[in-house]
């Protein structure tokens, strides 16, 4: 039941481009459910993603955030 922080290592593919990433995850077992939460900052240029362009858009951030929440039920 005690919260812990772990690093998940793997390959993230966006827009056909793969990069090795490490995502810090907060995990906790609560009432038979494993709750996993994490986020990763992503630079669009690293995945060959062009920033959106429009005459109505004043500015665009060239980074994004991948966020995840997993709720895993533990069965015995």
Residue 50 is predicted with a pLDDT of 83
Find all residues with CB under 8 Å of 17, minimum gap 6, and list them: 46, 47, 48
Question: pLDDT of 24-38, one tens digit each?
Answer: 999 999 888 999 999
**DSSP E strands, the chain:** 4-14, 17-30, 33-43, 63-73
Task: Show the tokens assigned to 5.
Answer: 């922080």
Give this prediction's pTM.
Answer: 0.76
What letter does residue 61 receive in the DSSP assignment?
A: -
CA distance 6 to 22: 10
Whether 56 shows a pLDDT value over 90: the answer reads no
At residue 57, φ and ψ (nearest 5 deg) are: -95, 120
Residue 52 is predicted with a pLDDT of 75
């Amino acid at each position: 039941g005690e919260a812990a922080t772990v690093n998940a290592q793997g390959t993230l593919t966006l827009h056909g481009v793969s990069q090795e990433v490490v995502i810090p995850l907060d995990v906790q077992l609560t009432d038979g459910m494993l709750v996993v939460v994490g986020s990763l900052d992503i630079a669009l240029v690293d995945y060959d993603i062009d920033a959106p362009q429009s005459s109505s858009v004043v500015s665009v951030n060239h980074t994004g955030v991948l966020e995840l929440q997993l709720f895993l039920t533990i069965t015995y």
